[in-house]
């Protein structure tokens, strides 16, 4: 009988060799041997026949040490490794696989790309983290019912460039990114531009889900003015006012997990978008905003899912609604008793003197009210230094 080197046998092979040897010696019946090897009787009879013919060599799998017939050619593997080290060095495995297919014409599965990178040491094995269990909210059934908006402040152009804020809107039913815009800060003007982009492209959604940023809510809360008490409500922010006029219900989330769909979008884009902006050599806001539509279209093709209801809840813009007026900052400002006015969610002190016309109406940027330098107040003359009264001696 041909023999094999026992050093090349695995632990499983050694157990099989021991059980089959004892089975041949008649130490226990076939049922016990099959149970010990966790195989069926038919498989046990096959192993026993190979063991009788080839000895220990019949236990080792015949394909061990051979290359798989569908193995990726070495030339393709070398190309994948070269791209991973140079052009796509900062791409994750899934994104890298997509770029290989769309840009380089190399069609491989994500598992194959991961295995190639693991074999060459370009990818470290990941440890699975235990996730905190949360009760997931079901998607709304139709596109346009609920749209989530948020901003992400990140090094979108790389660590060597300053941080920038990206505002985005994503549909809850399908995960489709509906609009996005780069801004220097997360401000009201940026959200109005985002809402305008959303409405002009798709229509008015029923509900807008957002966090408790000061662009949506007065934060921190302030005392009510007399006019607000008479009206029975506090004056809304510019964004809240625009949503009311557009007939869009504004919903504030109480935790980041509540609007998890757009929070997960930031995790994806802070990886994929940063890498593609670097690949395209984009380092300025205007070019990045021009790059976003094509990137969003590719993202939606890759990640969007169909809604449970194929209809659409987006509503058209009414003919009698002036969208430019609604989404502008041309609203009346109320001067408070302390001679202050709220401009762009900031309290601006009005300097002494007649109220300038430009202070009565804002332009959305806080100018010229916020840039107008207050007049210095007349100072009272300094008091003379304090001197103690002269000491008086008591007469005896």
241-255 confidence digits (pLDDT tens): 999 999 999 999 888
Q: Residue 64 has what pLDDT?
A: 73
Nearest of 186, 194, 218, 202 to residue 346 by alpha carbon: 218
C-alpha–C-alpha distance, residues 368 and 225, integer Å: 24
Q: How many Cβ atoms are within 10 Å of 312's Cβ, its own excluded?
A: 15
Cα–Cα separations (whole angstroms), residue 321 to 64, 71, 188, 205: 74, 63, 21, 16
Confidence of residue 343 (pLDDT cuts 50, 70, 90): low
User: Domain-by-domain residue ranges, the chain?
Assistant: 6-58, 74-119, 146-303, 333-360
User: Over the stretch 221-279, which tens digit does the pLDDT of each residue have?
Assistant: 777 777 767 777 777 888 999 999 999 999 998 888 888 899 999 999 999 999 999 99
Where is pLDDT greater, at 362 or 15?
15
pTM of the model: 0.66
The lowest-confidence range among 158-162, 315-319, 351-355 is 351-355
User: How is domain 146-303 classified at the architecture level of CATH?
Assistant: 2-Layer Sandwich (3.30)
User: Over the stretch 193-218, which tens digit does the pLDDT of each residue have?
Assistant: 999 999 999 999 999 999 988 888 87
Q: Residue 392 has what pLDDT?
A: 46
Q: Residue 60 has what pLDDT?
A: 81
pLDDT at 181 over 90: yes
Q: Residue 344 has what pLDDT?
A: 53
């Amino acid at each position: 009988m041909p023999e094999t080197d026992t050093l090349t046998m695995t632990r499983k092979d050694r157990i099989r060799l021991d059980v089959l040897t004892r089975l041949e010696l008649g130490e226990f019946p076939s049922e016990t041997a099959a149970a010990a090897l966790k195989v069926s009787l038919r498989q046990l009879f096959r192993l026993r026949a190979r063991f009788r013919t080839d000895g220990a060599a019949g236990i080792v799998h015949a394909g061990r040490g051979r290359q798989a017939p569908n193995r990726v050619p070495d030339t393709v593997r070398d190309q994948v490794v070269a791209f991973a080290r140079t052009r796509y060095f900062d791409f994750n495995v899934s994104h890298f696989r997509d770029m290989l297919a769309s840009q380089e014409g190399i069609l491989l599965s994500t598992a194959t790309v991961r295995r190639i990178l693991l074999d060459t040491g370009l990818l470290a094995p990941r440890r699975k983290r235990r996730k905190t269990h949360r009760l997931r909210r079901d998607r709304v059934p139709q596109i346009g019912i609920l749209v989530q908006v948020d901003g992400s402040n990140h090094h979108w152009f790389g660590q060597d460039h300053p941080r920038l804020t990206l505002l985005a809107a994503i549909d809850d039913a399908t995960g489709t990114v509906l609009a996005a815009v780069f801004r220097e800060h997360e401000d009201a003007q940026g959200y109005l531009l985002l809402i305008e982009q959303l409405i002009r492209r798709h229509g008015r959604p029923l509900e807008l889900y957002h966090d408790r940023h000061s662009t949506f809510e007065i934060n921190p809360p302030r005392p009510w003015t007399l006019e607000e008490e008479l009206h029975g409500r506090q004056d809304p922010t510019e964004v809240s006012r625009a949503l009311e006029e557009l007939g869009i219900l504004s919903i504030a989330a109480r935790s980041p997990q509540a609007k998890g769909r757009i929070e997960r979008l930031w995790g994806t884009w802070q990886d994929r978008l940063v890498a593609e902006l670097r690949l395209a050599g984009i380092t300025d806001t205007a070019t990045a905003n021009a790059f976003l539509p094509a990137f969003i279209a590719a993202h939606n093709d890759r990640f969007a899912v169909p809604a449970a209801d194929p209809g659409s809840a987006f509503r058209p813009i009414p003919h009698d609604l002036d969208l430019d007026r609604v989404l502008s900052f041309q609203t009346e400002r109320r001067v408070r008793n302390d001679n202050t006015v709220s401009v762009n969610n900031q309290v601006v002190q009005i300097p002494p003197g007649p109220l300038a016309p430009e202070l009565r109406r804002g332009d959305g940027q806080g100018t010229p009210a916020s840039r107008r330098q207050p007049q210095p107040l007349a100072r009272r003359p300094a008091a003379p230094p304090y001197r103690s009264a002269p000491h008086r001696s008591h007469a005896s």
